[in-house]
Amino acid sequence: MKIEKKDILKALETITVAGEGKNMVESGAVTNVVTFADEVVVDLVLTTPAMHIKKRAEDDIRKTIQDLVYADAKVKVNIKIEAAPKTTTDANTIKGKNIPSIKNIIAVASGKGGVGKSTVTANLAVTLAKMGFSVGILDADIYGPSMPIMFDVESAKPVSVAVDGKSKMKPVESYGIKILSIGFFTAPSQAVIWRGPMASKALNQMIFDADWGELDFMLLDLPPGTGDIHLSIVQSLPITGVVVVSTPQAVALADAKKGVSMFMSDAINVPVLGIIENMAYFTPEELPSNKYYIFGKEGAKNLAEDLQVPFLGEVPIVQSIREAGDYGRPAAMQTGSVIETVFEEITRNVVQEVVSRNENLPPTEAVKITTMAGCSAVKGKK
C-alpha cells in the first residue's frame, strides 16, 4: 500500500500539542513528513528535552498513523529539541498560553488517590468566593470527575454562548463558583476510557473554548499521580503555583514527595505553594479537647520541612466534611463551623504564597488581594 502524505498530516492533526492548545501540525511541531510505499518518516521539533515526553510523542505518532492510516505502516520519528522562546524574565512562569481574563491559576494535586484532593479543592474555592474573589474550577480529573457531585450540579449541562463571533461553553455555576468538568458530558455510570492525547484534547477544549469571564482564581483539580494530564496542563497554562494534598500516612507521603518532585523538576518548573495535610487527626464531638492521630502525626508537616516548601495547614477528620461533599454543599460554607475556620486559615496561607511568589504582580493588586483574604502580611513584597 502507498501511503499519502496528506493522510499522514490529517492523522497527526488529531494529536494535541501540550502547551499551545493546538495539534502537532497546526503548531508547527511537525516540520516534515516523507512517505515511501508503506514507510513513513516524521520530523518533529519539541521544546522539552525530558525523555518521557519524547518517548510519549514518538509512541503517539506511531500509534495514530497505524490506527488512522495504515496498520502495518513502518513509522520512524526524528525528534529535534529546540529551546522554547522566553516570553518573560520570571523564572517561575512556565510555558503556557496566557488567558488574560484569569489572574491566578492554582493546581491542586496529590501523589495518590483517596487523600481528599477534590474535597480540599471544593472548600478552597468556596472560601475564596466568601472572601469576595471571583473563582472557577476546572475539574481536570478526567477519569474520576467529582465536582458535579460536590457542588450538587450532576444533572447540569454547559450551554453554548457566542463570544466575539465564536461559539464557547458557558461554565455551570454553583454557589458563585464557575465549574467545568468532563462529568457534565458523560453519564454518571459511564467510564471514561481515553488515551492521554484524547484526554489532553478534551482539557484544552474546556480551558480555551470556554467563556470563563473574569476570574481572580482558577483552581485545577488534577488527577492523582504524575502522568499525561499533569504534563498537558502545566504546559498548556501559565500556572501560578501548585498545592499538594496528602494524609499523614507514610504511603501517601511517599507519593506526595514524588508529586512535589515532579513540579519542581526542570522540565516542569511550577512553584509549589505548599502542602496541606488532610485527615490530620480525629476529635470526637463528646471529647473536643482530644486528638487521635489515626493516620500518623504531622507527617505532611514534616515532609514540607524536609522538602523546604511551606506547610499550609491541616484539616481534621470531621464527619460533616464527608456529608457536605455527598450532599453537594462544601463544608466550609457552614458559618461558624470548625471547618470554616480551618479553611479560612489555609486559604489565607495559599493567597499569601501566591502574592509573595508573583513578582510581576503590581503592589496595588497585591495589597488588594491580601486585604480581601485577610492576610496580616505579604512575604516577599515591599
- CATH number of the structural domain spanning residue 224: 3.40.50.300
Is 168 annotated in a binding site? The answer is no
Is 117 annotated in a binding site? The answer is yes
Per-residue HEC secondary structure of the chain comes to CCCCHHHHHHHHCCCEECCCCEECCCCCCEEEEEEECCEEEEEEEECCCCHHHHHHHHHHHHHHHHHHCCCCCEEEEEEEECCCCCCCCCCCCCCCCCCCCEEEEEEEEECCCCCCHHHHHHHHHHHHHHCCCCEEEEECCCCCCCHHHHCCCCCCCCEEEEECCEEEEECEEECCEEEEEHHHCCCCCCCCCCCHHHHHHHHHHHHHCECCCCEEEEEEECCCCCCHHHHHHHHHCCCCEEEEEECCCHHHHHHHHHHHHHHHCCCCCCCEEEEEEEEEEECCCCCCCCCECCCCCCHHHHHHHHHCCCEEEEEEECHHHHHHHHHCCCHHHCCCCHHHHHHHHHHHHHHHHHHHHCCCCCHHHHHHHHHHHCCCCCCCCC
Is 112 annotated in a binding site? The answer is yes
Residue 183 scores a pLDDT above 90: no
Claim to verify: residue 47 and residue 126 sit in the same structural domain: no
Claim to verify: residue 272 and residue 141 sit in the same structural domain: yes
Residue 226 scores a pLDDT above 80: no
Domain boundary among 37, 52, 81: 81
pTM over the 0.95 mark: no
Claim to verify: residue 109 and residue 68 sit in the same structural domain: no
Claim to verify: residue 205 and residue 305 sit in the same structural domain: yes
Q: Quote the CA–CA distance of 58 and 221 in Å, as a whole number.
A: 28
Residue 50's pLDDT band, with cuts at 50, 70 and 90, is low
- CATH number of the structural domain spanning residue 28: 3.30.300.130
Residue 280 scores a pLDDT above 60: yes
- State residue 366's pLDDT score: 78
**What residues make up the domain containing 24?**
5-81
Is 144 annotated in a binding site? The answer is no
Is 215 within a domain? yes
The mean predicted confidence, pLDDT, of the chain is 83
Claim to verify: residue 134 and residue 61 sit in the same structural domain: no
Claim to verify: residue 62 and residue 124 sit in the same structural domain: no
Claim to verify: residue 77 and residue 107 sit in the same structural domain: no
Claim to verify: residue 214 and residue 142 sit in the same structural domain: yes
Domain boundary among 81, 114, 138: 81
Is 296 annotated in a binding site? The answer is no
Claim to verify: residue 246 and residue 342 sit in the same structural domain: yes
Residue 93's pLDDT band, with cuts at 50, 70 and 90, is very low
Number of domains making up the chain: 2
Is 114 annotated in a binding site? The answer is yes
Domain boundary among 50, 81, 112: 81
Is 163 annotated in a binding site? The answer is no
Is 115 annotated in a binding site? The answer is yes
Residues in the chain: 382
Claim to verify: residue 361 and residue 267 sit in the same structural domain: yes
Name the residue among 265, 260, 208, 276 with its Cα closest to residue 94: 265
Percent of the chain at pLDDT above 70? 86
Is 263 within a domain? yes
Is 192 within a domain? yes
Mean local confidence (pLDDT), 186-209 = 73
